[in-house]
A = this chain, B = another copy of it.
Amino acid sequence: MSLKSRLAAGETLCTAWSGVPDALTVELVAQQGFDCVTLDMQHGGHHEDSVLRGLAPVLAAGKPSLVRIPVGRFDMASRALDFGAEAVIAPMVNSVEDARQFAAAMKYPPVGARSWGPTYAFPRHGQGSQQDWLRKSNERTLAFAMIETRAALDVLDGILATPGIDGIFLGPSDFSIAWTKGGTVDSTHEDMMETIADVAARAHAAGKYAAIFVVDPAVAGRVVKMGYQLLAMGSEHALIALGASVLLADVKKSIGNRQ
Contacts and interface: CB of A to CB of B under 8 A. Distances in A.
Given A24-B21, A109-B181, A244 B33 contact: yes
Contacts of A116: 43, 171, 173-174, 177, 185
A259 interface: yes
Interface in A89-131: 91-92, 105, 108-111, 113, 115-120, 123, 126, 130-131
A252 B27 CA distance: 23
Main secondary structure of the interface of A (DSSP, over half): helix
A251 B113 contact: no
A205 interface: no
Contact of A217 (B174, B184, B254): B254
Contacts of A50: 49
A251 B217 CA distance: 5
A8 interface: no
Contact of A115 (B20, B43, B44): B43
Interface in A146-168: 148-149
Q: Quick one: copies of this chain in the complex?
A: 6
Contacts of A109: 177-178, 181-182
Given A45-B24, A59-B60, A237 B123 contact: yes
B244 A117 contact: no
A19 B119 contact: yes
Contacts of A220: 250-252, 254-255
A64 interface: no
A118 B224 contact: no
A249 to B, nearest CB: 9
Interface of A: 11-12, 14, 16, 19-25, 27-29, 31-34, 40-45, 47-50, 52-53, 56-57, 59-60, 70-76, 78-79, 82-83, 91-92, 105, 108-111, 113, 115-120, 123, 126, 130-131, 134, 148-149, 171, 173-174, 177-178, 181-182, 184-185, 214, 217-222, 224, 231, 233-248, 250-256, 258-259
